[in-house]
Amino acid sequence: MCDTMRFIHISDPHLTDLTGVPSKAIRGKRRLGHLSWRRRRHRHLRANLDALCAAFSELRPDLILVTGDLVHIGLPEELAAAAEWLRDLRSSAQILVTPGNHDLYGRDSWSACRSRWGDYLHLPRNSAANADAGEPAWWAGFPSHLRFDDIHVYGLNSGLPTPVGFAAGELGAPQRRRLADLLAAAPAQALNLLALHHPPLPGVMGKRRALRDAAALQPLLGGVHLALHGHGHWNRSYGLGGVRIFATGSASTKHAPFRLFDIQRAAKGFAVRMELRTKDGAQFNLAQAEEFIVSPAG
What CATH number did the domain enclosing 137 receive? 3.60.21.10
CA distances from 223 to 6, 52, 75, 188 (A): 22, 32, 36, 10
Distance from chain centroid for Cα 145: 13
CA distances from 235 to 20, 211, 267, 289 (A): 33, 18, 30, 12
Residues belonging to the chain: 298
Q: Is the whole-model pTM more than 0.85?
A: yes
CA distances from 280 to 24, 51, 252, 277 (A): 40, 11, 13, 10
Count of domains forming the chain: 1
- When computed from its CA atoms, the radius of gyration of the chain, rounded to whole angstroms, is 18
Residue 135: give the domain boundaries: 4-294
Helix axes 76-89, 109-121, angle to 10 degrees: 10
Whether 273 contacts 256, CB under 8 Å:
no
Amino acid letter, 221: L
- In order along its 298 residues, the chain shows pLDDT tens digits of 457 999 999 999 999 999 999 988 899 999 999 999 999 999 999 999 999 999 999 999 999 999 999 999 999 999 999 999 999 999 999 999 999 999 999 999 999 999 999 999 999 887 776 778 889 999 999 999 999 999 999 999 999 999 999 999 999 999 999 999 999 999 999 999 999 999 999 999 999 999 999 999 999 999 999 999 999 999 999 999 989 999 999 999 999 999 999 999 998 899 999 999 999 999 999 999 999 999 997 5
Whether 259 contacts 6, CB under 8 Å:
no
Whether 289 contacts 34, CB under 8 Å:
no
Residues sharing a CB contact under 8 Å with residue 39, sequence separation 6 or more, in sequence order: none
Nearest to 6 by CA among 193, 204, 212, 251: 193
What is the distance between the alpha carbons of residues 93 and 125, in angstroms, rounded to a whole number? 16
Conformation bin of residue 262: beta by default, left when phi > 0, alpha when psi is -120 to 50: beta
What is the distance between the alpha carbons of residues 214 and 284, in angstroms, rounded to a whole number? 34
Strand partners, 97: 66
